[in-house]
């Protein structure tokens, strides 16, 4: 689904501004305990971890959507952002509802060709677009899990663990999360991605 700019009530809910605001709020939600206990350095690293995990997650959605010839942009969900902050604060970052917004897209070129009976690259781009976000978290999680295992550096562990959390959460097969779209469109892909994410999330 694509939301035209004219229908968005504020520029801060749309595009780069919305992505920036979401990153700041999620960083507070995940890193609030470090601020409470005075570990400013670790709060900085939590911002880096959320930046890598959340921002790359949403950019991956957008870029894959564009590869399919779709129009795509990040749109902030104010209620989801407020819920993320609320749960993050009251649980000191132990549980975060990490759904402050989503990349909205529409694929007029593909849909038009499908209606005309012409061949298209795929009849269901939604599953691949949805999978792109968690896939970015899995890749980042693998990289920083390896770095943590070889160096023992705690910030690498933080980056890895937040990315595994984001991968597992977003791959839950529940609407409107990515996992529901991947599950409907390509069950084997969902099983592979979810299994890897769960294993690393609980083993790390």
Residue 61 lies in a domain: yes
For 114-140, what is the mean pLDDT?
78
The yes-or-no verdict on residue 198 having pLDDT over 80 is: yes
Mean pLDDT of the chain: 84
Q: What is the model's pLDDT at position 56?
A: 94
**Does some domain include residue 45?**
yes
Does residue 159 sit within a domain?
Answer: yes
Task: Give 24 or 124, the one with higher predicted confidence.
Answer: 24
Residue 143, Cβ density class (10 Å: 0-12 exposed, 13-18 middle, ≥19 buried):
middle
Per-residue model confidence as pLDDT tens digits over 135-157: 999 999 999 999 999 999 999 99
Q: How many domains does the chain have?
A: 1
- What pLDDT sits at residue 114? 56
Residue 104, pLDDT score: 83
Q: Which of 108-122, 146-160, 180-194 bottoms out in mean pLDDT, i.e. has the lowest? A: 108-122
Question: What confidence tens digit (pLDDT) does each residue in 60-83 have?
Answer: 998 998 888 788 888 888 888 889
Assess if residue 204 is contained within a domain. Answer: no
Q: Output the pLDDT for position 175.
A: 85
Structural domain span for residue 139 = 5-199
Within a domain: residue 28? yes
Query: Predicted confidence band at 110 (pLDDT cuts at 50, 70, 90)?
Result: low
Whether 157 is in a domain gets the answer yes
Find the mean pLDDT for residues 163-185.
Answer: 92
pLDDT at 123 (0 to 100):
54
Give me the pLDDT at residue 121, please.
Answer: 54
The answer to whether position 65 is within a domain reads yes
């Amino acid at each position: 689904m694509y939301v035209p700019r004219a229908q968005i009530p504020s520029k801060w809910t749309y595009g780069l501004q919305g992505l920036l605001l979401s990153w700041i709020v999620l960083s507070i939600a995940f890193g609030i305990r470090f601020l409470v206990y005075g570990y400013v350095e670790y709060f900085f690293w939590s911002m880096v971890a959320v930046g890598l995990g959340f921002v790359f997650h949403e950019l991956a959605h957008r870029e894959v959507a564009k590869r399919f010839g779709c129009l795509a942009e990040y749109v902030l969900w104010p209620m989801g952002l407020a819920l993320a902050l609320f749960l993050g604060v009251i649980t000191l970052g132990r549980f975060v509802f990490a759904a402050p917004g989503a990349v909205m897209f529409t694929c007029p070129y593909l849909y038009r060709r499908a209606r005309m009976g012409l061949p298209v690259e795929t009849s269901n781009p939604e599953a691949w677009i949805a999978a792109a976000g968690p896939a970015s978290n899995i890749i980042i999680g693998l990289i920083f899990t390896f770095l943590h295992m070889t160096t023992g550096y705690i910030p690498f562990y933080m980056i890895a663990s937040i990315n595994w959390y984001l991968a597992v959460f977003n791959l839950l097969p529940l609407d409107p999360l990515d996992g529901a779209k991947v599950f409907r469109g390509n069950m084997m892909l969902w099983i592979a991605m979810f299994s890897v994410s769960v294993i690393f999330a609980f083993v790390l």
